[in-house]
Amino acid sequence: MNNSEIVLYDVFTKWCAPCRMMEPTLAKIEAKYGRVKVVRIDAEKENDGSYPNFDVRSVPCFIVVVDDIERGRKFGFQREEQIVAMFEPYL
């Protein structure tokens, strides 16, 4: 899986304090792990069909997708190492 595309979806809302607190961590992860693409999805905006329907019921929600298959999901505030653990096996 060394050449696999790794996408970390961050499903958030603008009013969510934990979502805002995660922004620096996600920026750090994206800078540190060049193969990981962080995609932010505002849960309150209408989905225009450009993102999969993840059926998210709580924010923040972090979803790792590798080769179009969901490989992990976590809800709520997470430490950097908790998020990295979700995609690390696919690096």
- The residue extents of the domains of the chain are 6-90
Identify the residue whose tokens are 């979700």: 86
Order of strands across the sheet with 6-12?
Answer: 36-42, 6-12, 61-66, 69-75
Q: How confident is the model at residue 1 (pLDDT cuts 50, 70, 90)?
A: very low
Structural contact between residues 73 and 63, judged by C-beta atoms closer than 8 angstroms: yes
Instruction: Tell me which of 48 and 12 has the higher pLDDT.
Output: 12
Q: Among the listed ranges 50-54, 58-62, 71-75, 87-91, which one has the minimum average pLDDT value? A: 50-54
Q: pTM for the complete prediction?
A: 0.90
Report the CATH architecture of 6-90. 3-Layer(aba) Sandwich (3.40)
